[in-house]
Amino acid sequence: MTGADVEDAEALLRAQLADLARFRHVIEAQRAVLRMEDAGLLGAFARETTDIADAVAARDMILMALRSAAQPSKAAPGRHWDATLESEVERARKVASEDSLLLARQMEAAAHGISKELEGVGRRLEAMVGPQFRRDVPGQPMIVDRRG
């Protein structure tokens, strides 16, 4: 691996670190928006996390190619990039993944809560207006009791 390849790989790893940090900030923003219950902002942040994840995945492909090209050979040992930097990226990736899974669980719990609330509202509505609209036989025209 040439010095330029090593520098390219290190630059890509630094970009990965920056994007993973940004990803975690967006996840934190999504948590705040979830508490505010603003679906529009939640969608915007979801698109941003998708864009960041796509950029990270594209860089991973380039890094894999550089890694395979850097396989040490006895004929040309070459220079390798900093393993510490690579391990930092792996740690950041793990933390970002855990954060996004936690957010997904929080969103699932919120959706479940909303579903239960809607179910209760539906039952109360049925209790209030259901008796006004009745059918004695399925398929029969609806008889509306306008007297109450």
Dump pLDDT digits (tens) for 111-125: 888 888 889 888 888
Q: Is 119 inside any structural domain?
A: yes
pLDDT, residue 94, reads 92
Which amino acid is it at 37?
E
User: Distance between CA 59 and CA 89 in Å, rounded?
Assistant: 12
Q: Is 28 inside any structural domain?
A: yes
Q: Is 98 inside any structural domain?
A: yes
Structural domain for 104, as ranges: 3-72+81-130
Distances (CA, A) of 11 to 22, 24, 58, 140: 16, 20, 14, 73
Q: Is 137 inside any structural domain?
A: no
Domains of the chain: total: 1
127 token code pair:
């209790």
What stretches in the chain show pLDDT beneath 50?
74-76
Q: Is 142 inside any structural domain?
A: no
Question: 0.75 cut: is pTM over it?
Answer: no
Nearest residue to 6 (alpha-carbon basis) of 61, 73, 85, 74: 85
Q: Is 146 inside any structural domain?
A: no
Q: Is 148 inside any structural domain?
A: no
Rounded to 5°, the CA angle 49-31-26 comes to 30
